[in-house]
Amino acid sequence: MASETAPIRVGLIGYGYSGKTFHAPLIRSVPALGLRVVGSRDPAKVRADLPGLVVVSDPAAVATAEGVDLVVIASPNDTHAPLARLALEAGKHVVVDKPFTLDLAEARGLVALARRHGRMLSVFHNRRWDSDFLSVRTAIADGVVGKVRHFESHFDRFRPQVRDRWREGAGPGGGIWYDLGPHLVDQAFQLFGLPERVTANLARLRPGARSDDWAHVVLEYPDLRAVLQASMLVAGGSPRFVVHGEAGSLVKQHLDIQEQQLLAGLAPGAPGWGADPDGLAIHDGTGAVTYAPAVAGDQRRYYEGVARQLTQGAIESSAALEALQVMACIEAALISARTGTSVALALTAEERDGSASPRP
């Protein structure tokens, strides 16, 4: 757990599912970070979990608090941009939960503001440190399937009943594409860089759905297609990843278990943390199938990277630029689904060059 003398004082805005399940435990697991104040409309819940912390009801008070160096924003999606703007103008470093903003224009404004104030701005793309993604990324880099030509990434759930919560509502930032799309897009970009065009289909398939609960998005590269799929009506049968290459194929069946471990109360870094019993099935094209163990996941590495950057005093803009690129894809998919056309990412040359080269 973080010590009382941790050099980076953290304020967390929002103690709903994301703040309680992910941010608070991960922040408290990094010694250089000290969680000091939480902004929540349910102070009793916070105090029951985190006795001794300051709890306030006004998110703006956290964003501008004198005793806070880093503001983490885990509130509803339509509050991300205004709260991040407030925190940056108050001289704070900022972590924003995904999605970064509601649109590309808001993302550009925040990136420019962070640059003007010389502050770190990062988006919580914690799924870069999931066991499923790390396993697939390692296998691709090792050439297990040769040159990749077809890539599928599924983030599916079985929630047939529409729940009364903002993530599934009709308001700005609601729906599965804003919720899970940023993870799918960011992982694809980490593997393959930026696509030439995006083709998307979004739908409401559950009775009573108020926002999209099904998404099928294709990222078009010159010699590769990356298919991103998310649904609320998948009880089983869809693998997490499928990768087809010139030398074979691989399948990663199940999702990383860290979210379930956090829900069960396991502390990040405890024995068994991130250990994944579901390995990769590798098909070599002759009918032979071999199995490789999964790489362990560890989402602590996101906040360890944040702490390292802040304690070393070397503020980098790459994380913010990568988040902006993801928002360009989120927006392109929304336009594609609405118009029935393939859409290019609306990025400037500078925005593309920030971190646009394909990964190994």
Q: Give me the tens of pLDDT residue by residue for the chain, a chain 360 residues long.
A: 334 567 899 999 999 999 999 999 999 999 999 999 999 999 999 999 999 899 999 999 999 999 999 999 999 999 999 999 999 999 999 999 999 999 999 999 999 999 999 999 999 999 999 999 999 999 999 999 999 999 999 999 999 998 888 788 778 889 999 999 999 999 999 999 999 999 999 999 999 999 999 999 999 999 999 999 999 999 988 999 999 999 999 999 999 999 999 999 999 999 999 999 999 999 998 989 999 999 999 999 999 999 999 998 878 788 999 999 999 999 999 999 999 999 999 999 999 986 433 333
Question: Does 360 fall in a domain?
Answer: no
pLDDT score at 58: 96
Question: Does 170 fall in a domain?
Answer: yes
The answer on 17 and 72 residing in a single domain is: yes
pLDDT score at 166: 73
Q: In this structure, is the dihedral angle defined by the CA atoms of residues 94, 100, 101 and 104, taken in order, positive or negative?
A: positive
Which CATH number belongs to the domain containing residue 278 in this structure?
Answer: 3.30.360.10
Range of the domain at 216: 129-298+331-339
The answer on 133 and 105 residing in a single domain is: no
The answer on 276 and 217 residing in a single domain is: yes
The answer on 254 and 170 residing in a single domain is: yes
The answer on 133 and 118 residing in a single domain is: no
Question: Does 350 fall in a domain?
Answer: no
Tell me how many domains the chain contains: 2
The answer on 278 and 141 residing in a single domain is: yes
The answer on 93 and 58 residing in a single domain is: yes
The answer on 100 and 13 residing in a single domain is: yes
Domain boundary among 102, 124, 146: 124
Name the pairing type of β-strands 241-245 and 248-252. antiparallel
pLDDT score at 109: 97
The answer on 19 and 71 residing in a single domain is: yes
Which CATH number belongs to the domain containing residue 81 in this structure?
Answer: 3.40.50.720
